[in-house]
Every structure is written in structure tokens, then in C-alpha cells.
Amino acid sequence: MADLDSIVAEIARDMQMITERGHVADYIPPLACVDPAKFGIAIIDAGGTAHVAGDADEAFSIQSLSKVFGLTLALTLEGSELWSRVRQEPSGSAFNSIVQLESEHGIPRNPFINAGAIVISDILVSRLGRLGARQALLDFALSQSGAPEGLHIDENMARQERDTGFRNAALANYMRTFGNIRNPIEDTLDLYFHQCALTMSCRQLAEIGCYLMTGGVDLRSGRMITSVPDARTTMALMMMCGHYDGSGAFAIRVGLPGKSGVGGGIMAIAPGLASVAVWSPGLNSQGNSLLGTLALERLVQRTGWSVFNPFPLSVQTIP
């Protein structure tokens, strides 16, 4: 009888045997230095037990994975008014594309492409101030991470993202011409860059994702983190938009709400069953972790956790 510990150990062994690992995100200088041989996987099940393998406790830059947490905070503060400034639709374009903003009057397609996340940052700055919003995002991650050691905002990463973030500055300035950025550009982008510089391990990321696995409830304390409708909305957007123009392929291959980051991390949620995080720095052509996606595909094959499976398997019954 197989269990989650043996499944994650087997997946980690399989990933180490694969030679094609994709390409690290070299347009952000610190990410260009990450060892592409790294691989980690962590699962927190519905009982709160951790199942980890590989480099699951090594910290990495979560990058766009942080957009999930920014959206959660913005929904709590802004409610449904948020959707007047960012839409809920797949983009079909690259994560940093500016093409659709002109025809759609500066309203980004969804909160997970860069333009949409910049709008979310602008909302948080309006509500909390630049430094207050930065601290709120860090506090949210720390409070949900279980073991907060090593979880931090990497100031060097944030600075280098600012120094190379010309396209993000273009997106923000362009949306400003439509009135969809309402704070000074430098304040909004400062929050965006610091958010993307959140650094943590797979284990911590999986712990944080538990509030989505439980429908908005803190797994440890029972406290409501976000409403059930907002948790459902966030996971729906993760399914449709969480992997940019690779989201459809990810839904077919994995079948779980997921969000990727160019640091090589992916967080995936099996509603009511598990919160999963994987990390492998090499990316595919859409900017998503190559081995991370494959590992999640293997995990779903072993567990039956796809939301499109009408009869999800209990992991204890897998032969």
C-alpha cells in the first residue's frame, strides 16, 4: 500500500534522473545563478501532516506565486469593487505582455499577469500605504507558514528587479494613462517588486496554501482567512490563469488550481485534500517550471486528485 511519503520520495527520485530541466530565468540576475539541479516537493494533507522530499526546505524566490497572496489581501480590503479594475479572464498572452491593454482600455485580463498584479499592488498601496502593504504581505506569509524561519523579502532581489523592470514600468505607466494606476508609479512598483521578492521553502509555501485547500479557513486555528467565495474565486483564477499562456495545458495535464513563478515554484491545491508546492528552477517556454509541472502530473496520476476526476482516490487505497 502506497502513502504520500513514498509517493513524494519516488517523484523526487524520478525528477533527479531527468536531464532536460529547462532554462532558468536569466533576465533577473539573481535567478540566473540558481542551480538547475534543485528539486523539492512538499504536501500538507487535510490533517496538517507534511510530506516532503528533495530540496523541500531550501528557500527560493517565489516571484509571481506571491500574486495569490496579494489578491487575497486585496479582496479582503476591496471586495467585489476590485473587479472594476482587473478582469477575471485568461489572457492567452505572455505574462508581461502589453498588447491587450490598449484595446481593453487599461484593464488587465486577470490579477495573475504582471499588469493585473500591478493593479492589485496599487489597490493595496491605496489601502495600506507603500510600507504598510509590504509589511501586510510579509505578515500574511509569516502567519500562515507554520515555521517562519528563513521566510523573508529579499531586498537584493527586489532592488535588482527594480533596476531591470523596464517592461513592468511601461505597463504601470500605460495603465496610468487610463486612470487605472492611482498612486505614484514608484510606490506601486516598489510594492510589486518586494512582493515578488518573497523567499521561502516548498514546505512553507505548501503550509501557506492550506487556507485555499480548506476553503478560506486556517488549518491550524480554524480562523477564517478569507471568505469561501473569495477562496473559490482565487482557485478558479489559478486554474484558468495561473500559468499564463500555458494555463490550458496545465489544466489538462495536472487538473488542479495552480500558480507558478519564474523562480521555478508552483503551488497547487487539491480542494479539501492537500496543498502542494514544488520547486525546480528550470522553466519551459511559457515561463513555468518544467520539472515542477511534470512532478505534479505524476502526483495526480498516483493520487487521482485532479478536480476533473469524478472519483478522487484516497491515497491510502492506491496499490
Q: Which residues sit in the known binding site?
A: 64, 114, 161, 168, 192, 244, 262
Q: Residues within the annotated binding site for substrate?
A: 64, 114, 161, 168, 192, 244, 262
C-alpha cell at 223: 480562523
C-alpha cell at 254: 495536472
Q: Which of 151, 116, 133, 108 is nearest to 190 (CA)?
A: 133
Q: How many residues does the chain have?
A: 319
**Strand, helix or coil for residue 212:** helix
Distances (CA, A) of 52 to 44, 56, 113, 288: 9, 6, 29, 21
Residues 126, 191, 230, 201: what is their CA dihedral angle, to the nearest 10 degrees? -160
- Cβ within 8 Å of residue 209, ≥6 positions away: 44, 68, 267, 269, 275, 276, 277
Largest CA distance in the chain: 60
